[in-house]
Amino acid sequence: MTTRRTFIKGAAVAAPAAALATPALAQSKIKWRLQTYAGAALAEHVIKPAIDSFNKIARDEMEIELYFADQLVPTGELFRAMQKGTIDAVQSDDDSMASPTEVTVFGGYFPFASRYSLDVPVLFNQYGLNEIWDAEYSKVGVKHISAGAWDPCHFATKDPINSLEDLKGKRVFTFPTAGRFLSQFGVVPVTLPWEDIEVAVQTGELDGIAWSGITEDYTVGWADVTNYFLTNNISGAWAGSFFANMDRWNELPDHLKELLMVCMEQSHYYRQWWYWGGEAALRVNGPKMKLTTIPDEEWAQVETAAVKFWDEIAAESETKAKVVKIIKQYNADMVKAGRPYRYG
């Protein structure tokens, strides 16, 4: 039988223990796992500084563990893993992670949608793409946090490219939509794990890469295995984003959501100047790759084909048509604005 005295004694012992347990529970650190599309060398610039800053500021409240390309899951499975909650957040373009949305085709390098890196944030923040992306990802249980620009899309090849004829038969590592577009010019798109690309060029499995600008070619080692860099590009900037599992996002207190968005915006800003300066500096001073150029009058065929490609994509759905309409309007506005926005 429990007496009044033993009950009170037991309650007195239990009360301090419960009091101590409550603060410990409240102070437990939130931990996220975020995987980027980028390998280790590239991630040092395109995401690690932002994650390091976030972790320093968040201190005991939250920590993001950063994983590089294919470390936890293959890049093509990133979306599904995030949707299921296997990983909490992702940095990628829509195209590479195979997201099942109507806007997936516009991620990465949508041919000639942009000429400069600043075009991407303007399209999202001032021309309405943010709202479209938010709606599309909300339907599938994913939070689209923030979109930004990366580098332009150029060919890095073992043999020189001086004409469209030189592209025919070239086995090239590129993005799904870019590959779909370039195949009409004889390019053979090849899909491989990101970390295997350098060796694949060395062994002859690949003839080249259309995945980045010259800054990444040097940063990740591709400039060591390719000999030529084509100055023509099929897009002025890669469009990528930060995403999170919707439940994990909703669980965050508002101040951590705000901190996360601020650090991601800082990441976008870092890439703006890192790529912009790097592209120019390495064209001028880079010792490893010789520059080649397809004449403007011949390259105009590719630009014309891009507009036709836009119309083909627009015909696939109402949402895609809406995005294409925005891209067309934006580019028309830039042409009307003239220099320095567009040069003819």
The pLDDT, as a whole number, for residue 1 is: 41
Residues 331 and 194 in one domain: yes
Which domain CATH number covers 35?
A: 3.40.190.170
Q: What is the pLDDT of residues 97-117, one digit of tens each?
A: 999 999 999 999 999 999 999
Residues 86 and 219 in one domain: no
- Cα 170 to the chain's mean position, in Å? 25
Q: Please compute the mean of the pLDDT values over residues 62-71 and round it to a whole number.
A: 97
pTM exceeding the 0.85 threshold for the entire prediction: yes
Residues 169 and 308 in one domain: yes
Is 19 within the bounds of a domain? no
Q: Rounded to whole angstroms, how far apart are CA atoms 323 and 195?
A: 32
Q: What is the pLDDT of residues 220-243, one digit of tens each?
A: 999 999 999 999 999 999 999 999
Residues 85 and 42 in one domain: yes
* Containing structural domain, residue 227: 153-237+287-337
Q: Rounded to whole angstroms, how far apart are CA atoms 340 and 328?
A: 18
The percentage of the chain sitting over the pLDDT mark of 90, rounded to a whole number, equals 90
The contacts of residue 62 (CB under 8 Å, 6+ apart) are 29, 30, 31, 32, 54, 55, 252, 256
* Beta-sheet strands, E only, within 14-162: 30-36, 62-67, 89-92, 142-149, 153-157
Q: Strand 89-92 to strand 239-245: parallel, antiparallel, or no bridges (unpaired)? A: antiparallel
Q: Which residue has the tokens 């995005």?
A: 323
Residues 190 and 45 in one domain: no
Residues 178 and 325 in one domain: yes
Q: What is the pLDDT of residues 158-211, one digit of tens each?
A: 999 999 999 999 999 999 999 999 999 999 999 898 889 999 999 999 999 999
Is 246 within the bounds of a domain? yes
